[in-house]
Amino acid sequence: MKLEKSEKQLFKMIQSGMYRDCYLIYNRKSTDEPDNQKNSIKYQRAENSRYSVREKLRIAPITLKSFCVDGVISEEHSGFKEDNDISISESGLVQYKIDRPKFQRLIQFLSMGLFKGIVVLCWDRVSRNKGDDTVVRKLMRKGIDVRFVFAKYDKTSSGALHMDIDGMFAEHHSRVTSEKVKTTTWNLRERGICTYRAPLGYLNLGNMDEKPFDPERAPIIKKIFELYASGDWSLEDLARYAKKEGLTTVPMRRRRTEEEMLAEEDDEIEIEQVSRPITANMVHKILTNPFYKGLIIGNNHQYIPSISHQALVTFKLFDDVQALLFKRKTSVHYTDKLDLYYRGLVRCALCSRVYTPYMKKGIQYFNSRCPDDCANPKRNFNINFIENKVGDLLSNLYFSDKELVEIDARTTTDIAIFEEKRTVNLEVNEGQKKKIREKLKFLHTNKLDLLIAGTYSAESYLEEENRLHGELTKLQGEEQTSDEAMHEVIKDIVKISELLKDSAAYWSFANSHEKEQIMRVIFSELSLSENTLQFKVKKGFVSFQSRLLVEGDLTGNRTPI
């Protein structure tokens, strides 16, 4: 509050004409030539201050936030860039935007005659394009005193020519710099070198010739491609998987605010680097980026082979992912989605278009905008149709009591056979262990004689002893095989079957919201052709899927209901 009040008072003092006999110092650091010595703000400030003292110029003792400190303006911006948009009023007034915010404010103060002039290092610090050049010259003709430390322009035709030449060379220098950058970038891309930032999964070490794998993120990115290609994972599932694996974006600083961009060079502004979690949208960008199969953007906006990085995935895996993404692509997009049930759950079995929910006369329906050549006649159905179909499906998905008894009996028989085989293997192992122990006993008893006779050296003796001990340990480990794993698998299958049975019983009493939750837990894909519902279950329910397969269907994912 105190700062706002003092700046208001300062503006009133400036507008009253208190500083009309004072100068301002303008320093500009060009962003397109960072290595130039005169480009340094520190160097310009020192030279401009020294010149002001020598010429006895009074610098305005004013400090305005985001503009100047003690009459010194410091700005980081390219003077070559200018806005191409112009507007012409009915009176013939031509206006265009100055892209340098501090310079724009400076021009406003000078055009109002609130300061006597400015001190700059040389012509190319104040202007490098025709538009700004014209503005500065108009101010000079208006009587504003523009002082240059490195040059003095007489008020004669020779002085004007000198100024024209300096302005021409300043603009020419910027054009040459721009052409060099463009030519270098063109040549690098022509050779297959990556001139831009590599995506997630690669390291950006400041070297365009080498974009190595990120040892932490690359394996997870590759796994994401493989999981999606399996057809069992959605983008949301992969986003949750990435979060579980700890995958985040590379730590980066946020974009600076306007206030931070206008801050003085001496101001210490620390912007903390932040990593963001992976979202479904980010997963989609990863899966569609050809960079991961070893390509970069070339000069003609076409992808070309890269020599800066290695492919993370094969062409086949990448193409399989693109085909699956295209298959699941929805045809209709809404700005504001209505809160309707089973959105995105059911697709046409022939063309893969999604059935979109809509309301009509208080009843929820589903419609698919299939192509004209799609043979599926089922383009519309209501919510009861799909709920009844899924209910019938659930009623046959779990194991019956009879099947559970058969599973238990089969498991007991399998374990008995397993135990018989295990007994035979134990006898064989015991014979092998006996032979190894005899060899070890022989080595230990005749160690000295074997070494003296030269049968073994000290090193080969230890090597043979270690080898025999290793074989003995391996045989002992094999004996620890048990039937616990088989029992645990069967126990889990029975438990899931009981949960499915409960879900089937609960289905007829559940509302649509609860039914949708059950469907999304069990099924990864539902598709409809005429009155036939086809499905794919999620990983934990694959054991029950084979119970409902169509006879002769080898896909493992279809059933008529």
Which tens digit of pLDDT belongs to each residue from 48-63?
A: 999 999 999 999 999 8
**Strand runs labelled E in 477-555:** 523-529, 532-537
Give mean pLDDT, residues 294-307. 89
Asked, for residue 41, whether it belongs to a domain, the answer is yes
How sure is the predictor about 319, in pLDDT bands with cuts at 50, 70 and 90? very high
Asked, for residue 467, whether it belongs to a domain, the answer is yes
C-alpha dihedral sign at 145, 151, 157, 161: negative
Higher pLDDT, 50 or 540: 50
pLDDT at residue 154, rounded to an integer: 81
How sure is the predictor about 101, in pLDDT bands with cuts at 50, 70 and 90? confident
Domain of 104, CATH number, reads 3.40.50.1390
Asked if residue 13 and residue 161 are part of one domain, the reply reads: yes
pLDDT at residue 547, rounded to an integer: 55
Of 459, 489, 519, which closes a domain? 489
Question: Which of 271-280, 333-342, 385-394, 455-464 comes out lowest in average pLDDT?
Answer: 333-342
Asked if residue 521 and residue 389 are part of one domain, the reply reads: yes
Which tens digit of pLDDT belongs to each residue from 364-384?
A: 999 998 888 898 888 899 989
Asked, for residue 101, whether it belongs to a domain, the answer is yes
Which tens digit of pLDDT belongs to each residue from 106-130?
A: 888 999 999 999 999 888 888 777 7
Contact 559, 430 (CB under 8 A): no
Residue 228 φ/ψ region, left for φ over 0, alpha for ψ in the -120 to 50 degree band, beta for the rest: alpha
Asked if residue 538 and residue 427 are part of one domain, the reply reads: no
Asked, for residue 421, whether it belongs to a domain, the answer is yes
How sure is the predictor about 493, in pLDDT bands with cuts at 50, 70 and 90? low
d(CA 121, CA 49): 10
Indicate whether 413 pLDDT > 70.
no
How many domains would you assign to the chain? 4
pLDDT at residue 219, rounded to an integer: 93
Q: Mean pLDDT for the chain?
A: 79
pLDDT at residue 467, rounded to an integer: 85
Asked if residue 167 and residue 100 are part of one domain, the reply reads: yes
Indicate whether 184 pLDDT > 80.
yes
d(CA 222, CA 286): 10
pLDDT at residue 307, rounded to an integer: 92
pLDDT at residue 531, rounded to an integer: 83
How sure is the predictor about 411, in pLDDT bands with cuts at 50, 70 and 90? low
CB-neighbour burial class of residue 249 (10 A; exposed 0-12, middle 13-18, buried 19+): middle
C-alpha dihedral sign at 544, 545, 548, 553: negative
Asked if residue 427 and residue 356 are part of one domain, the reply reads: no
pLDDT at residue 53, rounded to an integer: 92
Indicate whether 492 pLDDT > 70.
no
User: Which domain does 357 fall in, by range?
Assistant: 346-397+500-548
Indicate whether 541 pLDDT > 70.
no
Asked if residue 125 and residue 48 are part of one domain, the reply reads: yes
How do 303-305 and 295-297 pair as beta strands? Answer: antiparallel
d(CA 413, CA 410): 5
Asked if residue 284 and residue 168 are part of one domain, the reply reads: no
Alpha-carbon distances of 92 from 86, 87, 88, 95, rounded to whole Å: 12, 10, 6, 10
CB-neighbour burial class of residue 250 (10 A; exposed 0-12, middle 13-18, buried 19+): middle
Asked if residue 44 and residue 62 are part of one domain, the reply reads: yes
Asked if residue 299 and residue 238 are part of one domain, the reply reads: yes
pLDDT at residue 361, rounded to an integer: 84
Indicate whether 1 pLDDT > 50.
no
Contact 260, 269 (CB under 8 A): yes
Domain of 229, CATH number, reads 3.90.1750.20
Asked, for residue 336, whether it belongs to a domain, the answer is no
Asked, for residue 265, whether it belongs to a domain, the answer is no
Which tens digit of pLDDT belongs to each residue from 208-256?
A: 889 999 999 999 999 999 999 988 888 988 999 999 898 988 887 777 6
pLDDT at residue 228, rounded to an integer: 92
Asked if residue 525 and residue 479 are part of one domain, the reply reads: no
C-alpha dihedral sign at 513, 515, 521, 524: negative
Question: Which of 25-34, 59-68, 182-191 comes out lowest in average pLDDT?
Answer: 25-34
- Beta-carbon-side half-sphere exposure of residue 344 (alpha carbons within 13 Å): 14
Asked if residue 150 and residue 52 are part of one domain, the reply reads: yes
Asked if residue 252 and residue 169 are part of one domain, the reply reads: no
Q: What is the percent of the chain where pLDDT is above 90?
A: 21
How sure is the predictor about 410, in pLDDT bands with cuts at 50, 70 and 90? low
Asked, for residue 282, whether it belongs to a domain, the answer is yes
458 contact partners, CB below 8 Å, separation of at least 6: 451
Asked, for residue 269, whether it belongs to a domain, the answer is no
d(CA 353, CA 126): 60
